Structures are given as C-alpha cells and as structure tokens.
Amino acid sequence: MTTHRIRMGDGRVEARSSDELRADILAGTEDAADRGRIPALTEQERDYLFDLFAFRGRIVGVEPGHEVVLTDDGVAGSLWTDQGDSGVGVPVSREQAIRLFERAFGFDTAELGHPDYSYKPVKPVVANEQQCMESVLLSTIIPVYYGAMPNLATYARPDGPFGNPSDLMPLGRIADARAAQLEAAEACTRDMIYVGKKMAAAGADGLNFDTTASAGDAEFLATLQAIEELAASTHLSIQVGMAAEFVLGMHGEVEFRGERLAGLYPHQQVKLVEKAGASVFGPVVNTNTRKSGPWNVARAVTFVKACSEAASIPIHANVGMGVGGVPMCETPPVDAVTRASAAMVEIGRVDGL
Amino acid sequence: MGVGDPVGMPMAHVLASGMGGIRTAGDLVARMQLHRKMRLPQAKAYVAEKLRVGIDDLSDVVLMRELREDLDIGVVTAMPGAARGLAAKARIERLLGIEIASVRMLRAKLEAEL
C-alpha cells in the first residue's frame, strides 16, 4: 500500500494512505464550507491538492508565470529579532535587514516595524520610526510599508487606562465591558491615525494593520475607522491582515456601515475592508494543530478562495506560522510551507501572500 | 506572509510562489497593486504593457535582469553607475505613470527656493 509522508498541524511527521489523504482533504474543505457557508472545493481542486501532498519531492512551487506578489508583517525582523518572533538574532539593523530582503532574498515589498509591534507603543517614539523610514526609503527600490498591530488589549487595565472586558464579563458587568471596549477602540483609532499620518509624512508607501481584530469586533471597528480616515486624507496604500478566520464577538453588537462585525468570515470581512478604503486584504485561516497538513491546507484554501472571489482589491493570504495551512511551529518545515504556498496561489487564487 | 525563521518562512515562499522583487518585475507589479488596487492579472498586464514584454516574462529573471539594466530602473546585482534607491524609484514612477511619495518629497526639496 502506498503511504504518504505528511505533516500534522503542529509540524510532526505522520503517514497517510492514499484513501486517508483524500479523506483528510475532503474533510478539511467540508469543514470550511460548513462554517463559512461557502462552496467546498471541486473534485478537480481536491485532486490538485492530493497530487501536491502525494508528490515525494521535498519542495514544490507554482507553475511558472503564476507567481504572486509577496508582502509581509515585519518579516525582515526575522533576521534580528529573538526566538519569540522566530528571529535568528543576527546583529544587523532594521535598515540593513530590509536591504537584505530586497537585494539578496528577492522580496517584492518590505515592511518596517518596531520590535514592540503595536501602534500604541510606537506613538511616543514615532519620530525615531519616521527617521528610520526615511533612511530606508532613500536606499530601497521596492515599496515599503510601515506595520504594527492595532492590539486593542493593550488599552485595557493593567496595561492601559480602560476597563478590562475579560475582568468585567465574568462579573456579569456586560454593559460596562461593552462601554470599556468602545472607549478603548476610540483611543486605538486615534493612535493608529496619528502614527499613520506621521508615516505618510515620512513618505512611506503604505501602512499595514497586522493581526487585526485579535481582541474581537471592537478592535476591527477601531481599525476600519482608522482606515477610513487615512485612506481619505493620505496617499498611503493600506493593507489589513487579520488575526483569525472569524471575528470574535467580544462586544457583540458593534457595526460598521450597518454591518454587524461579530462572526464575519474572510469573504465578508474583505467587503468591509474595501468599503473603508484599504488597498490589500490579508485573510487568516487558523491552523488546527491536531489535524493534518492536508486537512488544514484544504480548509484554508476553501476560505481564501471564497474571499478572493468576493474581493475587488488584491488578496494577500497570511501563510505564516500557524495560519494558512502552515504548521504551528517556530521553524516551519519547507515541505509544508511550499505546499501551502502553492495551494494558496493555484486553488485559493490569491494576488499575493 | 507571516512569522517563521528566515529559511522556513520568507525563503520558502520566495522559492515556491514569489515574483522575485527587483530580480524580476515583482516590485513593479506590487506597485500597481498598492497604488491602483489592481488585482494580480490586471497588475501584471499593466506592467507587461509598459515594459513591452509578455506576462510570463515578468518573473523570468534572465530576461528581466537585462531589461531592468536597459531601462535603468535598478538591478539586483551591484553595478556601478546603475540607478538605485530614490533614483531608481524616480524612473519607475515615470515608467509606470504613478506617483511615489518618497520621490515626490525629494522633488519638493529640489524645487524649493534656497
């Protein structure tokens, strides 16, 4: 019996028979279709995924001519950051790291980001960030984003001045928890607009909101409102990368332009991001560590394909550690990453990664 | 993209699916996505027309290496005299018919009264 070497969602190697591999792919796409109320992959698309995972070679790739644009969320930082970001701790500056990604590693775009990768801590040091951005722009050719996370949770006590919904809700203080989130969201929007306008003044090509809605629907609202203002008042190209496939209803009732934010899936999220004025959307589909790579990839590309079909702006799917079918481990195996990469392009029909 | 060590994450995607940045026409296609919100097929078609090449040529490193040198829009290898940084972006701006903010700001400095 033919067996196939596959990775689990946590990176472990396991074996699958051909029937088991096909069953994993089918179950993965059906799970996405059921949750998102979207079409499952066709038989032809499932056959492509089967061939991709059954191929015995270590790395795979897209058909020549099908290559896509790469954007990132501070990936140049992987050269100089610590283990927490899968960084390898090489003593190079941020400017040098971006130059390396442009000239040595063939990157299409780059992103500058602060080590404390949230808009709130950037605000007091934004002049330093502007100087670094100006320095990068002098010497690079590829488009350069500034990136950080909205990270609404940093506005709640004890890190911030507002009530903490995770403390208030268990006490039954639902109205207080909701009010605290809206107050925090207003401050978060102000900070993102402040930093965004400073980066526009420094000449940045774009602004990236990374891991958006990590604290739920109020954070998504804060980000959409910041995008509206920045898209209307600056030249910035705005990219929105999400935190998860599903917007958590931590508030539960917030709306943007009449649409309730809690519970939205990628193909619905992108429509609001478009309305706000963003240029690029990065859908996220979380990896289930207990399921196989084929299950996770099939599930992820099902969500992303629906998102790509619904979108009118470029879709750059997130395919980092623990998302987009990539295993949740700090040194992602290239066999798993290249399969997720190729599947996102050939089946997910993304414009970039 | 996302988090991961340099070989496992960015390098893997560059080799599997990436356009190639300034080795090819990846930066130019990216600009049309960023500046004009063009989907990938539209962005590739736009750049291919401006460069007068086929769409599949945009990610051909051999063809694009020579073409980028001819157009003087920045080449990946270190070549004395080749446009780099803002100079290359100023030429890309003209080639693609877009405005690049950092180039606009340089122009403003150059044209401001002394």
pLDDT at position B1 is: 83
B-interface mutation test, from A52, A66, A70, A131, most B Cβ less than 10 A away: A70
Candidates A9, A6, A5, A7; CA nearest to A321 is A9
**A109 domain-assigned:** yes
Tell me the CB-side half-sphere exposure of residue A351, using CA atoms within 13 A.
30
pLDDT in tens, A66-117: 999 999 998 899 999 998 888 999 999 999 999 999 999 999 999 999 999 9
Q: Which residues contact B45 (CB under 8 A, 6 or more apart)?
A: B55
A-interface mutation test, from B7, B17, B73, B84, most A Cβ less than 10 A away: B17
Q: H-helix or E-strand containing B103?
A: helix B101-111
Candidates A328, A322, A282, A326; CA nearest to A304 is A282
What are the beta bridge partners of residue A286? A323
- What percentage of chain A reaches a pLDDT higher than 70? 100
**A351 domain-assigned:** no
Indicate the residue type of B4.
G
pLDDT in tens, A57-77: 999 999 999 999 999 998 899
Q: Which residues contact A99 (CB under 8 A, 6 or more apart)?
A: A139, A140
pLDDT at position A119 is: 98
A-interface mutation test, from B1, B57, B107, most A Cβ less than 10 A away: B1
| Cα–Cα distance for residue pair A321/A333, rounded to 1 Å | 10
Question: Taking a C-beta distance cutoff of 8 angstroms, is the pair A4, A21 a contact?
Answer: yes
Q: What is the CATH number of the domain that holds A19?
A: 3.20.20
**Residue A206: pLDDT above 90?**
yes
Picking from A78, A103, A342, the nearest residue to B4 by CB comes out as A78
The DSSP code sequence of A69-92 is B---SSGGGGGTS-GGGT------
pLDDT at position A145 is: 98
**A352 domain-assigned:** no
pLDDT at position A1 is: 81
Picking from B30, B55, B88, the nearest residue to A109 by CB comes out as B30
**A353 domain-assigned:** no
Q: How far is A268 from chain B (nearest CA, A)?
A: 18
| Cα–Cα distance for residue pair A13/A258, rounded to 1 Å | 46
Which residues of chain A does B10 touch, with a Cβ-Cβ cutoff of 8 Å? 70, 72, 75, 78, 101, 105, 107
Distances (CA, A) of A21 to A16, A28, A289, A292, B52: 6, 11, 17, 9, 45
Contact B2 A137 (CB under 8 A): no
Candidates A253, A251, A100; CA nearest to A178 is A251
Say whether residue A196 is in contact with chain B using an 8 A CB cutoff: no
How many residue pairs from chains A and B have C-beta atoms closer than 8 A?
228
How many folded domains does chain A comprise?
1
pLDDT at position A282 is: 98
Say whether residue A147 is in contact with chain B using an 8 A CB cutoff: no
What is the arithmetic mean of pLDDT over A280-300? 98
| Cα–Cα distance for residue pair A118/A35, rounded to 1 Å | 30
Distances (CA, A) of A83 to A2, A327, B2: 38, 17, 14
**A333 domain-assigned:** yes
Return the ∠ at Cα A276 (arms to A140 and A209), rounded to 5°.
45
Identify the burial level of B71 via C-beta atoms within 10 angstroms of its C-beta, where 0-12 means exposed, 13-18 middle and 19 or more buried: middle
**A305 domain-assigned:** yes
Question: Taking a C-beta distance cutoff of 8 angstroms, is the pair A183, A190 a contact?
Answer: no
| Cα–Cα distance for residue pair A328/A307, rounded to 1 Å | 23
Q: How far is A72 from chain B (nearest CA, A)?
A: 5
| Cα–Cα distance for residue pair A130/A136, rounded to 1 Å | 10
pLDDT in tens, A119-168: 999 999 999 999 999 999 999 999 999 999 999 999 999 999 999 999 99
| Closest residue of chain A to B75, computed from CA coordinates | A103
| Cα–Cα distance for residue pair A331/A139, rounded to 1 Å | 31
**Residue A315: pLDDT above 90?**
yes
pLDDT at position A57 is: 96
- What percentage of chain A reaches a pLDDT higher than 90? 97
**Residue B3: pLDDT above 90?**
no
Contact A86 B105 (CB under 8 A): no
**A164 domain-assigned:** yes
pLDDT at position A84 is: 86
Distances (CA, A) of B90 to A196, A278, B26, B106: 23, 25, 17, 9
Q: Which residues contact A325 (CB under 8 A, 6 or more apart)?
A: A285, A287, A293, A296, A297, A298, A299, A300, A301, A319, A336, A339, A340, A343, A344
**Residue B48: pLDDT above 90?**
yes
Q: How far is A25 from chain B (nearest CA, A)?
A: 21
Contact A338 B11 (CB under 8 A): no
Q: How far is B77 from chain A (nearest CA, A)?
A: 8
Q: Which residues contact A81 (CB under 8 A, 6 or more apart)?
A: A87, A89, A115
The whole domain housing A62 covers 3-346
A-interface mutation test, from B7, B11, B13, B19, most A Cβ less than 10 A away: B13
Q: How far is B4 from chain A (nearest CA, A)?
A: 5
Which residues of chain A does B15 touch, with a Cβ-Cβ cutoff of 8 Å? 59, 61, 338
Candidates B20, B110, B5, B50; CA nearest to A103 is B20
Contact A69 B39 (CB under 8 A): no
pLDDT at position A85 is: 86
Say whether residue A243 is in contact with chain B using an 8 A CB cutoff: no
Which residues of chain B does A196 touch, with a Cβ-Cβ cutoff of 8 Å? none
| Closest residue of chain B to A278, computed from CA coordinates | B37
Which residues of chain B does A276 touch, with a Cβ-Cβ cutoff of 8 Å? none
